[in-house]
């Protein structure tokens, strides 16, 4: 948080002196609001907005004001459209750039049809305008090939939708009504820092807050107990807990009878689980599992809060479903202080997504984001001839970076809309330089809270940059359907906010600060006990074979596991950056050079490696140099690195993650199913 005067260019001429508000555009559940003070036409203060109902002015380490503001004029900024000529890029005008994109698109449409164009999109600045208008453009084009699945959370989202019919979370404040809390595979200290305050408050009140994670993260500071679990045994732990809860009669018969389907099958599976085998698999004592199960079964209400990590396995979706089942058997669903919460996608229902016109597309084709190279190479009738990348850096973010890069380089024509020369931009044939937060209008909603905020354009677009919105508007105009995307960004944001206009939410109202999305939105997920599954009831997972599959998954699922790659590879979030966003010298320094790899002392001892030693971390995909860091906080069976970094600088862990591993549920990259080894360099 910067309180000193910032050396910034003047704000836009229509921005009056005084207080303004904007919203963080990071892909983060909290969507913090900033308060800006403009004086004499310049920003003189940029800090957290203390009036935000949830984040209360506290920003995290990912957003020192200087990052956003100094980035505005930084040397690393892409300034003009760049067109590849051989191995080099040359500057061209926007007029030429738009002409080239349109000619290429027309060529693809004429020769191969719209599905030969892949729109390769991510969350990027995570705004609503970005998520609606770009997709509308491709719908109007006739429907390009689109991405499906995810590299973050689709295993958990789809799994919870199978159980509940929909994915909803309790408001983060509702945790304060819990009598017992399990924080499972979640590290809010790094990924959703405002949630930590709630955990601390519970701890002060004497509520048991238990952390279950293979890594003893900073989150432990706000918890009362920590259990180190063997990676990818969370589903087994849930089943062992279920068995104990069922056998001790701590189930909620009324809830099971009236609101669930499949309990009989589920309980048969749970009763067959051998608790001592599960304890051994999880690396926990039976008494520890008993202690957690007893409290979860007996204390009402109890809540479970799931992170992204425990779904990053091939069986990650099933893991979520077994944990959801704990909530259902104990009747902790639909009650304040209860629930099995992951993230809120409910907020998105209040946005007019139909404006993307995807419902009108007849011919569709999906390319899995986690299996990008394979799906692009396999795509036939038509093949992928052109890729437009926006709000995503797939070379650094998707597994097996080297192969993603190769496939992009082999594709006939790749357009990358970016603000910096990212690993992906380096593979482009044409780069279109874009604006970022403070330089473009966006509307942001949180997926961890129920607030919506505006991220208005306050600074002039630097150099020759244009927003995604402006780029797609101009392309639409040149391709003959400009009137379908006509209008300014304020009008479009108001159209997107149509469903909440009745609550007094609009572009202008959000200029005054963030608002709760809907005063009637339930703070308690499924409070009405209406589940949108086909049966209208909570639907238990009941595939008995998943238990033996999970036993196999825990160490031997991947063929490479018994073939010289004994460790699970965990690539976790850092507190100071998000994914590959805003890669900087500071991030490089924090990552280490070569990047740090964290191992438990017993692992280091077994491998004969020492603190600071340069080693190779190897997987089936390849190897990368890393610097050994030894700490008791890491699991002996895992090798841990931070995600982010850069492929060009050889600091990106995705150089060795395995793109053949996709979750059974939700088509998600199963990053943590990658198996690795560590080799000494001497």
Which residues in this chain contact ligand SF4 in the complex, by CB under 6 A? 24, 26, 28, 30-32, 59-60, 62-63, 193
Instruction: Please give the radius of gyration of the chain, using alpha carbons only, rounded to the nearest integer.
Output: 25
Considering the complex, state which of residue 188 and residue 636 has its C-beta at the smaller distance from ligand SF4.
188
Q: Specify the residue, 63 or 422, whose C-beta has the smaller distance to ligand SF4.
A: 63
Separation of alpha carbons 203 and 223, rounded Å: 7
CB of 296 to ligand SF4, least distance (A): 29
Residue 43 or 407 having the CB closest to ligand SF4: 43
Cβ proximity to ligand SF4: between 26 and 335 the closer is 26
How many CA atoms lie within 13 Å of 662's alpha carbon, on the beta-carbon side? Answer: 18
Q: How far is the CB of 58 from ligand SF4 (least distance, A)?
A: 8
Shortest Cβ distance from residue 653 to ligand SF4 (Å)? 20
Q: Do 235 and 159 contact (CB within 8 A), yes or no?
A: no
For ligand SF4, the closer of residues 368 and 436 by Cβ is 436
State in angstroms the smallest separation of the CB of 649 from ligand SF4: 23
Query: How far apart are CB 27 and ligand SF4 at their closest, in Å?
Result: 8
- C-alpha dihedral (12, 13, 16, 21), degrees to nearest 10: -10
CB of 456 to ligand SF4, least distance (A): 16
For 56-62, the CB contacts below 8 A with 24+ separation are 56/194, 58/32, 58/193, 58/194, 59/1, 59/24, 59/32, 59/34, 60/28, 60/30, 60/32, 60/193, 60/575, 61/575, 61/576, 62/26, 62/28, 62/575, 62/576, 62/577, 62/578
Residue 576 · residue 586 · CB < 8 Å: yes
Burial of 519 (0-12, 13-18, 19+ CB in 10 A): exposed
| Choice between 193 and 595, CB closer to ligand SF4 | 193
CB of 446 to ligand SF4, least distance (A): 8
Which of these, 30, 26, 20, 24, lies nearest to 347 by C-alpha position?
30
**Residue among 440 and 474 whose Cβ is closer to ligand SF4:** 440
Q: Which is nearer to ligand SF4, 62 or 186 (CB)?
A: 62
Pick from 78, 108, 72, 75: nearest CA to 430: 78
Residue 454 main-chain phi, psi, to 5 deg: -105, 145
Q: What strands, in cross-sheet order, belong to the sheet with 33-39? A: 18-23, 33-39, 42-48
Nearer to ligand SF4, 426 or 455 (CB): 455
The dihedral built from the CA positions of residue 3, 5, 6 and 10, taken in this order, carries a sign that is positive
The Cα–Cα gap between 148 and 418 comes to 21
Identity of the residue, 83 or 447, whose beta carbon is nearer to ligand SF4 in the bound complex: 447
CB of 62 to ligand SF4, least distance (A): 4
Q: Which is nearer to ligand SF4, 51 or 103 (CB)?
A: 51
Q: Is 253 exposed, middle or buried (0-12, 13-18, 19+ CB in 10 A)?
A: exposed
Q: Least distance to ligand SF4 from the beta carbon of 631, Å?
A: 25
Q: Which is nearer to ligand SF4, 28 or 210 (CB)?
A: 28
Structure tokens at 28: 């983060």
- Write b or e for each residue in 231-244: b if 16 or more Cβ atoms lie within 10 A of its Cβ, otherwise e: bbbbbbbbbbbbbb
Cβ distance to ligand SF4 smaller for residue 59 or 597 = 59
* Structure tokens given for 160: 């919870």
Tokens representing residue 493 in the block: 């944001």
Return the sign of the alpha-carbon dihedral for residues 660, 145, 397, 159. negative
d(CA 559, CA 186): 28
Shortest reach from residue 63's CB to ligand SF4, in Å: 4
Provide the minimum distance between the beta carbon of 49 and ligand SF4 in the complex, in angstroms, as a whole number. Answer: 11
Rounded to a whole number of angstroms, the minimum distance from the CB of residue 495 to ligand SF4 is: 25
User: With the CA atoms of 292, 295, 297 and 298 taken in that order, what torsion angle do they form, in degrees rounded to the nearest 10?
Assistant: 170
Minimal distance, residue 149 CB to ligand SF4, in Å: 24
Category of 3 on φ-ψ map: left (φ > 0), alpha (ψ -120 to 50) or beta: alpha
């Amino acid at each position: 948080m910067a309180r000193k005067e910032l050396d910034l260019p003047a704000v836009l001429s229509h921005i009056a002196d005084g207080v303004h508000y904007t919203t963080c555009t990071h892909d983060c559940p909290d969507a913090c609001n900033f308060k800006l003070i403009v004086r004499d036409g310049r920003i003189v203060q940029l800090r957290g907005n203390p009036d935000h109902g949830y984040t209360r002015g506290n920003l995290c380490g990912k957003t020192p004001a200087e990052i956003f503001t100094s980035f505005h004029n930084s040397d690393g900024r892409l300034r003009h459209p760049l067109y590849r000529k051989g191995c080099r890029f040359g500057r061209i005008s926007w007029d030429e750039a738009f002409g080239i994109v349109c000619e290429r698109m027309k060529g693809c449409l004429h020769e191969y049809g719209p599905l030969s164009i892949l729109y390769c999109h991510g969350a990027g600045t995570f705004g609503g305008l970005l998520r609606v208008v770009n997709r509308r453009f491709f719908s109007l084009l006739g429907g390009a090939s689109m991405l499906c699945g995810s590299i973050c959370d689709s295993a958990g989202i789809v799994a919870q939708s199978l159980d509940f019919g929909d994915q909803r979370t309790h408001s983060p404040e509702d945790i304060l009504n819990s009598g017992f809390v399990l924080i499972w595979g979640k590290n809010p200290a790094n990924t959703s820092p405002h949630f930590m305050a709630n955990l601390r408050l519970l701890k002060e009140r004497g509520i048991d807050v238990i952390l279950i994670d293979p890594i003893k993260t900073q989150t432990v500071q706000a918890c009362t107990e920590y259990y180190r679990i063997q990676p990818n045994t969370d589903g087994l732990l849930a089943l062992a807990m279920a068995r104990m809860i069922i056998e001790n009669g701590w189930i909620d018969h009324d809830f099971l009878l009236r609101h669930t389907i499949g309990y009989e099958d589920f309980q048969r599976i749970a009763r067959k689980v051998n608790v001592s085998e599960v304890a051994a698999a999880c690396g926990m004592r039976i008494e520890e599992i008993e202690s957690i199960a007893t409290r979860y079964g007996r204390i009402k209400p109890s809540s479970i809060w799931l992170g992204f990590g425990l779904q990053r396995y091939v069986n990650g979706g099933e893991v979520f479903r077994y944990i959801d089942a704990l909530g259902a058997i104990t009747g902790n669903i639909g009650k304040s202080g209860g629930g099995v919460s992951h993230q809120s996608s409910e907020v998105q229902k209040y946005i007019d997504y139909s404006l993307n016109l995807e419902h009108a597309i007849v011919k569709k084709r999906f390319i899995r984001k986690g299996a990008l190279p394979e799906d692009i190479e396999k795509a036939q009738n038509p093949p992928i001839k052109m890729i437009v990348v926006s709000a995503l850096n797939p070379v650094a973010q998707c597994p097996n970076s080297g192969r993603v890069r190769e496939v992009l380089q082999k594709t006939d024509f790749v357009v990358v809309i970016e603000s910096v020369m990212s690993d992906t931009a380096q593979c482009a044939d044409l780069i279109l330089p874009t604006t970022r937060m403070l330089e473009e209008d966006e509307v942001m909603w949180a997926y961890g809270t129920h607030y919506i905020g505006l991220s208005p354009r306050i600074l002039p677009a630097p150099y020759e940059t244009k927003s995604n919105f402006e780029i797609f508007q101009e392309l639409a105009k040149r391709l003959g359907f400009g009137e379908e995307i006509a209008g300014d960004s304020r009008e479009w944001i108001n159209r997107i906010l149509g469903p909440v206009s009745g609550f007094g939410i609009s572009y202008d109202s959000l200029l005054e600060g963030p608002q709760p999305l809907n005063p009637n939105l339930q703070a308690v997920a499924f409070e009405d006990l209406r589940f949108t599954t086909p049966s209208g009831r909570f639907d238990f997972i009941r595939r008995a074979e998943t238990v033996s599959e999970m036993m196999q998954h825990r160490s031997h699922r991947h063929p490479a596991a018994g073939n010289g790659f004994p460790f699970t590879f965990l690539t976790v979030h850092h507190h100071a950056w998000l994914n590959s966003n805003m890669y900087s010298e500071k991030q490089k320094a924090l990552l280490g050079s070569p990047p740090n790899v964290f191992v438990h002392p017993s692992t280091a001892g077994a491998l004969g490696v020492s603190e600071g030693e340069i080693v190779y971390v190897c997987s089936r995909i390849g190897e990368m140099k890393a610097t050994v860091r030894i700490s008791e906080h890491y699991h002996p069976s895992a090798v841990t690195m931070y995600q982010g970094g850069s492929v060009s600088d050889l600091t990106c862990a995705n150089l060795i993650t395995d793109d053949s591993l996709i979750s059974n549920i939700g088509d998600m990259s199963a990053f943590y199913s990658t198996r690795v080894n560590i080799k000494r360099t001497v």
